[in-house]
Structure 1
Amino acid sequence: MSAHRSWFARALVACAILAAVTALLGWYLYRQSGRTPGELLDYADRRIDGHPVVETLAAPVMHLLRATFGAPSVADRARMGFVIPPPPPRRGASEIAPPERIPPRARVWRVSPDGPIRRIGEVARLARDGDVVEIEAGDYHQDVAVWEQARLTIRGVGGAARLLAGGRNAEGKAIWVIRNGDFDVANIDFIGARASDMNGAGIRFEGGRLRLRRCLFWNNQMGLVSSNDNPAPRSELIVEDSEFAYSYVDGQHWGHNLYVGSMRALTVTGSYFHHVGIGHLIKSRATINDIRYNRLTDEVGGRASYELEFPNGGVAQVIGNIIQQQIGTENSALVSFGAEGYKWPVNTLYIASNTLVNDHPHGGTFLRVAHGSGGVVSANNLLVGPGGYQVADRLTVVNDVRADWEDLRMPARQDYRLATTTARTAYQPLSDEFQGARLTPDAQYVHRHTTRRLTSAPAFVGALQDQPP
C-alpha cells in the first residue's frame, strides 16, 4: 500500500511538473508569437469547430480565458455593434482648401442649393474636358454622380459641400464614380454611402489620376475604393489633408476607410484616419506607396484590423506618422507588409520617424513582414506599448526607441508628445539617401488633418517634433 501511495505521489509530482513546463512553454510561445490572446483563441475556435466532443470539453476553458483576457468571441463581437456618431459640423469658408487658379478658357459650372443648377448629377453630364465645377457650401441629399471627363476640377466653395447619400448610389457603387480621367477634388464631404454588394463608397475610383484635398468620408460602408489596373498599373491617387472615419458594414464584412487596388502610386499626406469597423484604416495594393505625416489612430470604440496594410508589398515609405492600435483590435499588427503574397518587382518597406502605439495590454506586433521581401529599413521610430517586429527577411534598424505610456504627455487623449526628452530619445541623423530612400522628415502632422513644415532638422525620434523644452 505504501509503495502504491509513493508511486501515486511521484505521478502527481510528474504531472505537476509537466503542467508547469507546458504552461511556461505556452507562455513563452505566446509572447514570441506577437499575437493577442483574442487572435490565438479565435484560431483555437476554428481548429475545434466541427468536433462536438472537443467543443464541449473546451468550452469552459475557452470561456474562462476569454473572460480573463477581455477577448470576446467572433459571435460576441458581431453582437456588439459599432457606434457611429453624427459627422462633425460642416466646415466654413475659413476651413477649406483655398481655390487654385482657374485654367485659361475653362468653363466654370456653379451648383448651389437655390441656383439655376441645383443637382450635381446634372453638371456631371454637362461638364466637358478641362472645365471647373464649383459646388456652393450646403447639404446635397441623394445627389449622386458619375464623372468620366478626361480632365476636371471639382471643388466646394464658400465652405464644404456635403453629400448625403440617403440610400442612393451611382451604378450601385458609390456617391461618386470617377473614371479614367485627371480629377482634382477639394472641399467635399461624402456621407452615408451604402450598396447591395456591401462596398458602398464615398468615391469609387476607376482609373486615371485623382487628387483629393480637404475632403471628409464619414459613415460609408467603404470610404474610398479604387479598382485594379489591369494588365499594367498606371493610375495614381493623391490624398491631402482629408479625414476618413467610421467605415462599417453590418455583420462581419470588411469596411475599410481607404482601399486601394493594384495601381501605380498612392500618396497620402496630412490626413486623419480613425474608427473603422473590422476593416483597415488604410489598405493599399499599389506598387509605390508614400504615406507621410498622417494620423492613423483607431481610438476608443474602433475595431480596426490592421491600421496600415500593404498586402502585396511594393515600395512603401511610411514617414512621420502617428499610428495607434487600441484594445478592441481585430488583428495584432499595426503595420503589415506582404501578407497576401508579393506581386511587384521590388518589395521594400521604409518606416521612419513614426510614433507607433499599441494599447493592447496582452500582446501585439508593431510590424509584421512576410517572407520574400527585399528588406525593411526602420529608423528613428518611437515604439510605445508591448510588441516588437516580426520580419522574415533582412531588417535594418537605426535608433528605434521603446517607451511606455508614462513617457508621453497624455496618451489616453492621443497626445503622444514626449513628456520629457533625454539623450535616449534624440534623433539620429541619416544620410540624404539612406538605404536608397530619403527618410528624414521635413514636416509633421498637425491635428485636425493638416501638416506643418519643420523649420529645423528633427530633434527627436517619433512623429512629433513639438516637445517640451
Structure 2
Amino acid sequence: MRLFSTILLLSAAVTATALAQGVTSPFTVAESGRSYATLGDAIKAIGNGRGTVLVAPGSYAQCAVQQGGDLTIRAQKPGTAILDGVACEQKAALVLRGRSSTVDGLIFQNLRVPDGNGAGIRLESGNLTVSNSLFRNSEEGILTGDAPGNSISIDKSTFRHLGRCDRDLACAHGIYVGRYGSLTVTRSRFDQGDGGHYLKTRTPRVTITDNSFDDSAGRLTNYMIDLSNGASGTISGNEMVQGRDKDNYSAFITVAPEGREQDSTNLSIANNSASFVPGLQRNSSFVANFTGDAVKIGPNRLAGGIKITDRR
C-alpha cells in the first residue's frame, strides 16, 4: 500500500506542470473563494485567522511564511502541487510559525541553503499535521525548533533522498524534530537517504508505527530512528532494511545517544522487523541504549547478525 501511494504521487507529479499552464492565480482561499498568484499572498490573506489554501496542480518556484493563525495548505489533487527549489529566509519552502499548520498532498523538492539545512518545512511554533506528502532531493525534509506544549503528526508521507553530513557543517536528517511535546509518525516511508539519520527527534513522547525504513540505496547514512535524549511511547510495526553504504551501521534505533533528558522506561519497541540488504553480512544492534533505563523491548523479527540490544 505504501509503495502504491508513492507511485501515485510520483505519477501525478510528472503531469503537474502541464496541468498548471494557463493558471495565473493557482492559490485559492477556500473560505473566501479568492485566488492569488503567490502562496505567500494567499497565506497573508488568512492572517491570524483560520483558513485553507487550495493549491492548483503545478510546479511552483515559490516559498511562503506563516506568521500566525491556523493554516491548512492542501493540494487540490494529492501529488500534483510541487514547491520546487526556493527557500524563504534561507530556511525552507514553508516556514511555519502560527498556532497550527496542516499540509496535505504537497511535494517539496530541491531545497538547499548555505547552512546545509534546506528543508521542505521549517516549523518554528504551533502544532503541525502532515499527510499524503512527498519530501525529496533536499537537505532535510522537516526541521523544527522547540515547542514543548505542541505536537507533530505525520501520516502517509514519503521522505526520499534527504540528509547530508558534509561541508564541515552539522548533519541534516530526513526528519529532525526538536524539543516538541510529542511526535507521531505513521504509515510513512523513508528511503535513499544521503546522510544523517532517517528520523531524529528530541520529543519526550513518540508514536512511530507502521512505517518503512528502506536504506538499501542509502549513502553514508546513520540510524533509522534516533531518540536523541530518550523518550517514552511506542515504536511498533516498522520494517527496517539496512544498506551497505553506512557512515554508522552499529545500530538501527538509539536511545539517548546525546544525553538522557527523558525517562525511557515507558518506551515500548515491539513487532518490528530489521534486516540487511540481501548478501550483506555484518553485526549490528537493533536498539542501542545509552541509558540505564529498562526499555521495554518485546518480540521483533531480527535477521542474523543483529542483536536485540546493547548498553553503551
Could you state the TM-score of these two structures normalised by the residue count of structure 2? Answer: 0.84
Cα distance change on mapping 1:134 and 1:109 into 2, 3 Å:
farther
Secondary structure of the corresponding residue to residue 230 of structure 2: coil
Q: C-alpha distance in 1, partners of 2:246/2:207?
A: 25
**For 1:271-304, what per-residue CA distance to the aligned partner results, in whole angstroms no more than 9, with x for missing partners?**
0011112201100100100001000111124332
Equivalent of 1:117 in 36, 41, 45: 36
The alignment of Structure 1 onto Structure 2 pairs a total of residues equal to 284
Q: Is the 8 A contact 2:159 2:190 kept in 1?
A: yes
State the superposition RMSD in angstroms.
2.3
| 1:250 shift after superposition | 7.2
Equivalent of 1:300 in 200, 208, 217: 217
Q: C-alpha distance in 1, partners of 2:33/2:222?
A: 42
Corresponding position: 1:386 with 2:305: yes
**For 1:360-380, what per-residue CA distance to the aligned partner results, in whole angstroms no more than 9, with x for missing partners?**
41221111011232x111223
Q: C-alpha distance in 1, partners of 2:164/2:290?
A: 28
Corresponding position: 1:189 with 2:104: no
Match of 2:161 in 1: 246
Q: Is the 8 A contact 1:358 1:366 kept in 2?
A: no
Match of 1:284 in 2: 201
Residue 225 of structure 1 aligns with an amino acid whose one-letter code is L
Match of 1:90 in 2: 12
Q: C-alpha distance in 2, partners of 1:188/1:169?
A: 15
Match of 2:20 in 1: none
After superposition, where does 1:130-145 map in structure 2 within 5 Å?
A: 130-141=50-61, 143-145=62-64
Residue 103 of structure 2 aligns with an amino acid whose one-letter code is V
| 1:314 shift after superposition | 1.6
After superposition, where does 1:6-25 map in structure 2 within 5 Å?
A: none
**For 1:318-341, what per-residue CA distance to the aligned partner results, in whole angstroms no more than 9, with x for missing partners?**
010001211212112111111111
Match of 2:98 in 1: 180
Indicate the structure (1 or 2) with the bigger Cα radius of gyration: 1
Match of 2:271 in 1: 353
Residue 160 of structure 2 aligns with an amino acid whose one-letter code is A
Cα distance change on mapping 1:333 and 1:345 into 2, 3 Å:
closer
Q: Is the 8 A contact 1:358 1:387 kept in 2?
A: no
Q: Note the residue ranges of structure 2 that are not aligned, 5 or more in a row.
A: 1-8, 16-29
Cα distance change on mapping 1:358 and 1:269 into 2, 3 Å:
same
After superposition, where does 1:308-323 map in structure 2 within 5 Å?
A: 308-323=225-240
Q: C-alpha distance in 2, partners of 1:308/1:159?
A: 27
Secondary structure of the corresponding residue to residue 207 of structure 1: coil
Corresponding position: 1:169 with 2:84: no
Q: C-alpha distance in 2, partners of 1:365/1:288?
A: 22
Equivalent of 1:218 in 133, 136, 156: 136
Equivalent of 1:127 in 29, 41, 46: 46
Q: Note the residue ranges of structure 1 that are not aligned, 5 or more in a row.
A: 1-86, 94-105, 111-115, 394-469
Match of 2:150 in 1: 235
Q: C-alpha distance in 1, partners of 2:285/2:188?
A: 24
Q: C-alpha distance in 2, partners of 1:289/1:341?
A: 17
| 1:391 shift after superposition | 3.6
Secondary structure of the corresponding residue to residue 324 of structure 1: strand
Residue 88 of structure 2 aligns with an amino acid whose one-letter code is A
Q: C-alpha distance in 2, partners of 1:347/1:122?
A: 47
Q: C-alpha distance in 2, partners of 1:383/1:259?
A: 26
Could you state the TM-score of these two structures normalised by the residue count of structure 1? Answer: 0.57
Residue 102 of structure 2 aligns with an amino acid whose one-letter code is D
Equivalent of 2:31 in 107, 111, 114: 107
| 1:236 shift after superposition | 0.8
Q: C-alpha distance in 1, partners of 2:162/2:204?
A: 25
Higher share of residues assigned strand: 2
Higher share of residues assigned helix: 1
Q: C-alpha distance in 2, partners of 1:345/1:365?
A: 21
After superposition, where does 1:152-163 map in structure 2 within 5 Å?
A: 152-160=71-79, 161-163=81-83
Q: Give % identity.
A: 28
